[in-house]
Amino acid sequence: MSKLSKLTLPVAILITGIILGGFYYASQVNKQKSIERQQEIKLLEDRKTEEVKKKTDCSSIARAAFKSYEESKKNKDGSSNWSYSYEVFGYSPSFDTCVFSVEEILTLDLVVDSRIIVDAYTNREIVDWTIWNDVIENIRKKEGNDAPIVSGFDSEQKTNKEIFQRIYSESF
């Protein structure tokens, strides 16, 4: 029995140490997860703040870019064959860019328009319509409207086609 009583105390101390170590380890893991969650929340808040700032700045950037775009399309003498109508602007978070739509009008009598999407940061025309679709989706989400945005683009194109056909048929 003497050997058993000599082993009992060290075994009890060892088991107690293992249990305390387990609790300490679990608390450290919990603390680390809590810190990571706080950092993740802060990162998401920072991203949202940055996105709101970019959306807000997009308005002034797009207007300035439109003026620059309009100036770049003028002839050397300062005249222009087209008139330009600034239509819609929006920030695309998926592509991290600000875009705006320009409507080109040939004359006031004959409205022949084409819509051009321009990246306001680079002032370059965008060929990829997925960016514009992303902007439209964000506008829908912001307005809380699940219905698709219907623009007059299709009907205008149909009207333009009819005008061209009428002019073409009158010419010959």
Domain count along the chain: 1
> Considering the chain, what is the average pLDDT of its residues?
73
Q: Is 43 within a domain?
A: no
Measured CA to CA in angstroms, residue 57 lies from 47, 82, 144, 160 at distances of 15, 28, 22, 35
Q: Is 148 within a domain?
A: yes
pLDDT at 148: 41
Q: Is 110 within a domain?
A: yes
Q: Is 45 within a domain?
A: no
pLDDT in tens, 112-125: 556 677 777 777 77
The stretch 159-169 carries a mean pLDDT of: 47
Q: Is 38 within a domain?
A: no
Q: Is 138 within a domain?
A: yes
Residue-range definition of the domain harbouring residue 80: 50-171
Q: Is 167 within a domain?
A: yes
Q: Is 31 within a domain?
A: no
